[in-house]
Chain A
Amino acid sequence: DIQMTQSPSTLSAAVGDRVTITCRASQSISRWLAWYQQKPGKAPNILIYKASTLESGVPSRFSGSGSGTEFTLTISSLQPDDFATYYCQQYDTYWTFGQGTKVEIK
C-alpha cells in the first residue's frame, strides 16, 4: 500500500498569509497526485491534479508542485473562503488519501 502523510495536521493562518501544505508518499508516485478542498458537511472538491495542473475554475492563488515522494500545495494569499480541510490523493497504485490538513483562522 502507498501511504500518504500530510503535514501539518492543523495550520492556523490569517487572511492574506501564504500557506504551504506538504504531502509525502511512502514510495515514488511520479506526478500522480491530486489535491482537494473540503468544507464542513460538504463533499471534497478537486483543486489540482497531476501534481500541478489547476482544475478549471479554481483560483490562481492555489498552486501545486512536486514529484516522486514530496509534494506541496500553496495558497499564495489566504482568503476567507479558503478556511477548510485539504487532502492529497495519490493515483499511482490504487487510490489513497492523506489524513488531511485543517486550515484554521488565526
Chain B
Amino acid sequence: QLQLQESGPGLVKPSETLSLTCIVSGGSISSSSYYWGWIRQPPGKGLEWIGSIYYSGSTYYNPSLKSRVTTSVDTSKNQFSLKLTSVTAADTAVYYCGRHAIAEANRPNWFDPWGQGTLVTVST
C-alpha cells in the first residue's frame, strides 16, 4: 500500500525558505502513471494546490505561487521535495504531499493518497 510522509522544519522565519520532503514508500516514484504534488491548508481554511512534479522533472506550478516555488525529485531515494522562498505569515499552513494520478486527458487529475500533513509555522 502506497504511503507518503512529509518531513521538514515546523518553524520557519519570515523571509526565509520553507523546505519540505515527501518520502514515498510501498511504490515507485518513477511510475509513468503519476505526478507527485504538494497541497497546503492554512489553519481552519481550505485547500490550495502548490505544484506537481513528474519523475522526469516535468513540473506544474500554481500561477499565484510560481515565482516562489521550486520542486525536485530524487528517484534514487524515492522522494520529492518542495522549496518555497520569501515566506510570510500567510504561508503558515499544514503542507500535504500527494500522488497526483494521470488518469484522464493525459494530465494529472485527482490526488490519492495523501500524506498525513505537516504543520509549518512562519514566525520569528
- Chain A residues contacting B114 (CB-CB under 8 Å) are 43-45
Whether B62 and A43, one on each chain, are in contact in the complex, defined by CB atoms closer than 8 angstroms, is no
Number of interface residues of B (CB under 8 A): 26
Is residue A89 contacting chain B, with contact meaning CB distance below 8 A? yes
Majority secondary structure, B binding face:
strand
A-B contact count (CB 8 A): 57
Is residue A65 contacting chain B, with contact meaning CB distance below 8 A? no
- Chain A residues contacting B60 (CB-CB under 8 Å) are 94
* Mask: chain B, 37-71; 1 = CB below 8 Å from A; 0 = not: 10000000011110010000000101110000000
Whether B109 and A97, one on each chain, are in contact in the complex, defined by CB atoms closer than 8 angstroms, is no
The 9 closest A-B pairs by CB, nearest first: A43-B114, A34-B110, A97-B47, A95-B49, A46-B112, A99-B46, A91-B109, A49-B110, A100-B46
Chain B residues within CB distance 8 Å of chain A: 37, 46-49, 52, 60, 62-64, 96, 98, 103-105, 107-117
